[in-house]
Amino acid sequence: MSLTFASPTITPTIRSFTFSSRRTNNIVMSAIQPNSASLCPILTKFQNDCATPTPYLRKVADAIVDEMQAGLAVEGEGELDMILTYVDALPSGNEEGLFYALDLGGTNFRVRSVQLGGKEERVIATESEQISIPKELMIGTSEELFGFIATKLASFVAKEKPGRFQLEQGRKREIGFTFSFPVKQTSIDSGTLMKWTKGFHVSGMEGKNVVACLNEAMEVHGLNMRVSALVNDGVGTLAGARYWDEDVMVGVILGTGTNACYVEQKHKIPKLQSKSSSGTTVINTEWGGYSKILPRTVFDQEMDEKSLNPGEHLYEKMISGMYLGEIVRRVLLQMCKTSDLFGQFAPAKLSKPFVLRTEHLCKMQEDNTDDLQNVGSVLYEFLEVETNLNARRRVVEVCDTVVKRGGRLAGAGIVAVLEKIEKDTKRMSSGKRTVVAMDGALYEKYPQYRSYMQDALVELLGHKFASDVVIKHTKDVSGIGAAVLAATNSIY
Ligand code: BGC
């Protein structure tokens, strides 16, 4: 269990990138020899098919804005769900009391307690625990998954140190539940699962109220807690970052999966059937579902067909961390079959889906040794193949092609969201600072991906707006965001 205290406030880890301070691209790419691809027709074709020149990215960004508008107009229209989150009030800083966050959305889930101290003290104390989810639970039954979560939650609460954390008398413990899958929200504290993504496929849950599933499991395990806010991780990131910075308008996740959530004007949401159309609300775009204009290759198509959610989340499958390694693996396998990439035979391991992961690609792309030694070690360790320099160079080229396309497409998505905001608010043209809060291991740990994403942002936004946009890396603020939203929506 990690324990953090801070006085007077605990601030999240934040790294900012502003366009006015645009870096010179100092990322080492020396390992890539642009001409070696020409010797390999598959690679040349793949590179051409993956190309995302600026005019093409512009079309992607415009198409995403169109889909956002379609999704806001009529429920179920357009490729983006544009989910109403019922988060109308973002944190003000005045929130006080003890609240919890439970975060489920990847291979780990996290529980957190947060003692909020109001404007002056903000986060007085926070404690968290991360638990990895056994693989079989990701594709098992809802009782098994939520039963496991409730057990861990119960032991977390049992370890709580009195004094540090104080629950007001007569109150139940309230939770902000971050559930990072597409959910059709019916209120701030309920919503039904639309579909699973990111390799989850728990049976019988689609169409079910996920909060009810958690409540039932908590009851079975004798936990006297209630969910006060059900939030997506993008919403949690936006809310958590907003707690410290009122210019945050967008929360983006670039991790195993991807998503963007942003602050929308209610009168720009035709499908919102409420009498009051003034003010703002947070929209969960579920942009992973975008698919119209995308540079899809045969490798993307084949990977999609074999996935647990074929035909769905195609943008996510091109830009998020779960899939980049798998695309590379498929290209390498084809290169082995047609151009003797690793000698006469393809290594047996290369036929194993998902054997290459994003962190392996990153390690290979960061190799700046003359003979690409690190690339050699990764290939030896994970594919059990000995390689010469030429093969290593080609592997790096494949990685770079996939990562460049992913990063640039992600950049186009962010521009689309910023332009949608700009259209309705004219924030940026009036010189108002606009912050995108960013979280996710892909953004955090993959410098080349980040750099390609930033290039696309600058190319598309132009210098007119770029100087007012800040990309803030807000690591792990989504838990704080969820706890603060539980406070905002407390029943007490
Ligand atoms: C889910 C989103 C989530 C994103 C990032 C996607 O697969 O559909 O709801 O926000 O992953 O975790």
Which residue ranges form the domains of the chain, and what is each CATH number? 2-74+289-474 (3.40.367.20), 91-231 (3.30.420.40)
Q: Kindly give the distance from the C-alpha atom of residue 161 to the centroid of ligand 1, in angstroms, as a whole number.
A: 33
DSSP string, 324-379: HHHHHHHHHHHHHHHH-TTSSS--GGGGSTT-S-HHHHHHHHT--STT-HHHHHHH
φ, ψ at 48 (rounded to 5°):
-65, -45
Per residue in 222-276, pLDDT (tens digit) is 999 999 999 999 999 999 999 999 999 999 999 999 999 999 999 999 999 775 6
Share of the chain above pLDDT 90, in %: 83
The residue whose CA has the least distance to atom 1 of ligand 1 is 181
Atom 7 in ligand 1: residue holding the nearest Cα: 257
Q: Is the CB of 253 under 6 A from ligand 1?
A: yes
- Residue 233 near ligand 1, beta carbon < 6 Å: yes
Residue 16 has a pLDDT of 66
Radius of gyration of the chain (CA): 23
**Main-chain phi, psi angles of 74, to 5 degrees:** -135, 135
Peptide bond connecting 353 to the previous residue in cis, omega within 30 degrees of 0: no
Buried b (16+ CB within 10 A) or exposed e, 267-277: ebbeeeeeeee
Q: Is the CB of 290 under 6 A from ligand 1?
A: no
- CB of 182 within 6 A of ligand 1: the answer is yes
Q: What percent of the chain has a predicted confidence (pLDDT) above 70?
A: 92
CA 386 to ligand 1 center in whole angstroms: 37
Give 96-150 pLDDT, tens digit per residue: 999 999 999 888 899 999 999 998 999 999 999 999 999 999 999 999 999 999 9
Catalytic residues, by residue number, are: 110, 180, 233
How much is the pLDDT for 455?
Answer: 95
Q: Which of 83, 232, 252 to mutate to test the pocket of ligand 1 (most atoms within 8 A of CB)?
A: 232
Listed residue (133, 139, 136, 135) closest to 102, CA to CA: 133
Name the DSSP letter for residue 236.
Answer: H
Q: Is 288 in the pocket of ligand 1 (CB under 6 A)?
A: yes
User: Is the shortest distance between the CB of 413 and ligand 1 below 6 Å?
Assistant: no
- Neighbouring C-alpha atoms within 13 Å toward the C-beta of 444: 15
Determine the pLDDT at residue 44: 95
C-alpha to C-alpha distance for 174 and 229, rounded to whole angstroms:
9
pLDDT digits (tens, 9 = 90+) for 17-32: 665 444 434 333 334 4
Q: How far is the CA of 323 from the centre of ligand 1 (A)?
A: 13
Residue whose C-alpha is closest to residue 438's, from 457, 460, 461: 457
Taking the centre of ligand 1 as the mean of its atom positions, its distance from the CA of residue 246, in whole angstroms, is 24
d(CA 400, CA 393): 10
Residue type, 218: M
Ligand 1 center from residue 138 Cα (angstroms):
15
185 lines ligand 1 (CB under 6 A): no
**pLDDT tens-digit readout, 27-77:** 333 344 444 544 789 999 999 999 999 999 999 999 999 999 999 999 999
Task: Find out whether 462 and 415 touch, Cβ atoms under 8 Å.
Answer: no
Other C-beta atoms lying within 10 Å of the C-beta of residue 311: 9
Q: Which of 81, 133, 256, 286 to mutate to test the pocket of ligand 1 (most atoms within 8 A of CB)?
A: 286
pLDDT at 400 over 70: yes
Asked whether 235 lines ligand 1 (CB < 6 A), one says: no
